[in-house]
């Protein structure tokens, strides 16, 4: 932040609805918050939790904790009180920053969070009575000096953030990210994406998730502007692209799919946009085509994990590939991408040997580099399972081409084995997205007495769609091997999603596998 304060003190840095702060004002607010946290016992190495939507206070918390060397623990605001309490306790947080939009969750969580010494409330809604001291966020800031407190002596391996996994296969694990992880990733993102003070980034994906949170540091480092939208609503985001002259952002595929299919997508001016990034889950090439057509800007596919700060790949074209015809370029940028700066990436067989770079053989992505977590908080066994000989095993299955671009075909746990044949769910989903009636879909394996597993599609149709199960199945059979086509389709109004907005396949699979022996995942 010091660079932004020195070079762009009067630039409008933060815009959230009617609120606007220059970098000088933003820096003073961060300093006041840092002093307030320090007064409440938050010192170097101590953790604080935060439950909030995308509001400017979230950005302030990231920087105030960085100034103190404290550890910020962002919590998914869609979790239940019980789930939030587990994370608060496991992280050993001593203070909770909470938005009143989630007052009921907070009140329930604190009934079972003995280490919390107090709650700092954001938001204007009525606040519940609690057993621990409660403070007003703006009141705490008003009482403190705008001068930054003395900065601690931080080292690269000091803990900076604790992000908890969604817990879809058991108890959530706290992913440790260090000062070095966060710093290197921010600098690498600046270089890869050519971020500069010309840029205005809109925070749409949740700030409790690394699909967006990394931009907090990279954009500020170069003096870019931050626009915040508390919650995702596709029409409002499209309007903000125009009104706020957004130049770049990263969105989750489900968000982009709803935006390009929104009835008002053609009503706004997107000429300021230079790039749209998509990350957090695989995306169908058909959706990529619609993104490029709708927004008229570069498209960059990203891939990463919480454990890697997050980016591992970007689909940015090598210079010589820009001479290819537009359709071929679109095919490449729709792939998972080539290695991010500083990342060593391999796609390997079960014995650890590298697969052929033929875009056909499938293996598991493994990675190493300065963006990789040192492990899971207080979970040595889980750390040993994920990190082997210095390599992080991602669990993602992919192919790789001669140019070094990988393409994920599935999560290992989502691969369907039907009659001895492997079916990669994403391959089937990509074809389904080409069908004019399909708005959203998920492909899963369900129990089958004959084949072990059968391919099932769960589909949300467009409002004007006329779903026909047999016609859609035949549509897939005409484009893929027949054994890959769904044996059946469920038409639903909504597909379950995780807190970050990704499709939640485990919830779908559990419905069909309940009481039956099933594969892990």
181-411 and 415-513 in the same fold: no
Distances (CA, A) of 454 to 433, 447, 449, 485: 20, 6, 9, 9
Sign of CA dihedral 414, 185, 307, 33: negative
CATH 3.40.50.980 fits 2-154, yes or no: yes
Q: Tens digit of pLDDT per residue, the chain (521 long)?
A: 889 999 999 999 999 999 999 999 999 999 999 999 999 999 999 999 999 999 999 999 999 999 999 999 999 998 889 989 999 999 999 999 999 999 999 999 999 899 999 999 999 889 999 999 999 999 999 999 999 999 899 999 999 999 998 644 457 899 999 999 999 999 999 999 999 999 999 999 999 999 999 999 999 999 999 999 999 999 999 999 999 999 999 999 889 999 999 999 999 999 999 999 998 777 888 899 999 999 999 999 999 999 999 999 999 999 999 999 999 999 999 999 999 999 999 999 999 999 999 999 999 999 999 999 999 999 999 999 999 999 999 999 999 999 999 999 888 788 898 887 889 899 999 999 999 999 999 999 999 888 889 999 999 999 988 889 999 999 999 999 899 999 999 999 999 988 778 888 888 988 888 866 554 34
Q: How many CB atoms lie within 10 A of CB 474?
A: 12
User: Is residue 82 left, alpha or beta, with left meaning phi > 0 and alpha meaning psi from -120 to 50?
Assistant: alpha
CATH topology of domain 181-411: Rossmann fold (3.40.50)
Q: CA 367 to CA 346: how far, in whole Å?
A: 6
Count Cα atoms within 13 angstroms, Cβ side, for 184.
Answer: 22
**Nearest in space to 188 (alpha carbons), one of 279, 298, 310:** 310
Q: What is the DSSP letter of 342?
A: T
Beta-carbon contacts of residue 180 (< 8 Å; ≥ 6 apart): 156, 157, 370
Q: CA 121 to CA 99: how far, in whole Å?
A: 6
**Nearest in space to 499 (alpha carbons), one of 51, 76, 104:** 76
- Cα torsion at 116, 121, 122, 125 (round to 10°)? 130
Show the CA angle centred on residue 356, arms to residues 355 and 357, nearest 5°: 115
Q: CA 248 to CA 197: how far, in whole Å?
A: 12
Q: How many CB atoms lie within 10 A of CB 279?
A: 27
Where are the chain's structural domains?
Answer: 2-154, 181-411, 415-513
Structure tokens at 262: 């929104």
Structure tokens at 243: 């009104």
Spell 127-153 as b/e; 16+ CB within 10 A means b.
beebeeebbebeebbeebeeebbeeee
Distances (CA, A) of 170 to 139, 448, 503: 40, 26, 18
Q: CA 273 to CA 246: how far, in whole Å?
A: 6
CATH of 415-513, one of 3.30.300.30, 3.40.50.620, 3.40.720.10, 3.40.50.300: 3.30.300.30
SS3 assignment, position 160? strand
């Amino acid at each position: 932040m010091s660079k932004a304060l020195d070079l762009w003190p009067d630039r409008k840095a933060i815009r959230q609805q009617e609120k606007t702060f220059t970098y000088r004002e933003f820096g003073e607010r961060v300093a006041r918050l840092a002093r307030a946290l320090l007064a409440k016992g938050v010192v170097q190495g101590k953790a604080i939790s935060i439950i909030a939507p995308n509001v400017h206070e979230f950005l302030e918390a990231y920087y105030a904790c960085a100034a103190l060397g404290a550890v910020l623990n962002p919590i998914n605001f869609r979790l239940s009180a019980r789930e939030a309490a587990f994370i608060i306790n496991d992280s050993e947080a001593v203070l909770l920053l909470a938005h009143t939009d989630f007052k009921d969750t907070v009140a329930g969580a604190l009934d079972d969070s003995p280490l919390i010494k107090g709650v700092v409330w954001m938001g204007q809604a009525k606040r519940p009575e609690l057993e621990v001291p409660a403070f007003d966020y703006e009141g705490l800031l008003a009482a403190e000096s705008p001068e930054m407190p003395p900065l601690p002596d931080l080292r690269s391996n000091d803990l900076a953030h604790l992000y908890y996994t969604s817990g879809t296969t058991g108890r959530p694990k706290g992913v440790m990210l260090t000062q070095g992880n966060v710093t290197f990733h921010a600098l690498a993102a600046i270089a890869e994406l050519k971020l500069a003070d010309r840029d205005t980034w809109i925070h749409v994906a949740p700030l409790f998730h690394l699909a967006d949170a990394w931009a907090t540091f990279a954009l500020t480092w170069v003096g870019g502007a931050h626009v915040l939208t508390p919650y995702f609503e596709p029409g409002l985001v499209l309007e903000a692209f125009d009104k706020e002259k957004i130049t770049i952002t990263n969105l989750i595929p489900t968000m982009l799919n709803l935006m390009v299919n929104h009835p008002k997508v053609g009503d706004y001016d997107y000429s300021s946009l230079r790039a749209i990034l998509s990350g957090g889950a695989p995306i169908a090439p058909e959706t990529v085509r619609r993104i490029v057509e709708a927004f008229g800007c570069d498209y960059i596919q990203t891939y990463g994990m919480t454990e890697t700060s997050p980016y591992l790949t970007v689909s940015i074209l090598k210079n010589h590939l820009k001479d290819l015809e537009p359709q071929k370029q679109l095919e490449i940028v729709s792939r998972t991408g080539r290695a991010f700066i500083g990342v060593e990436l391999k796609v390997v067989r079960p014995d650890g040997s590298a697969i052929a770079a033929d875009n056909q053989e499938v293996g598991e992505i493994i990675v190493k580099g300065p963006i990789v977590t040192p492990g899971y908080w207080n979970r040595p066994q889980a750390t040993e399972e994920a990190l082997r000989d210095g390599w992080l095993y991602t669990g993602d299955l992919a192919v790789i081409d001669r140019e070094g671009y990988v393409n994920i075909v599935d999560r290992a746990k989502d691969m369907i084995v039907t009659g001895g044949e492997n079916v990669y769910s994403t391959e089937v989903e990509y074809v389904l997205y080409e069908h004019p009636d399909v708005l959203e879909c998920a492909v899963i394996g369900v129990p089958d007495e004959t084949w072990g597993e059968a391919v099932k599609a769960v589909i949300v149709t467009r409002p004007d769609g006329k779903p026909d199960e047999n016609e859609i199945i035949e549509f897939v059979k005409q484009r893929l091997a027949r054994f890959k086509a769904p044996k059946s389709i469920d038409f639903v109004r909504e597909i379950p999603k995780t807190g970050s907005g990704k499709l939640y396949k485990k919830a779908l699979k559990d419905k069909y596998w309940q009481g039956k022996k099933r594969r892990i995942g």
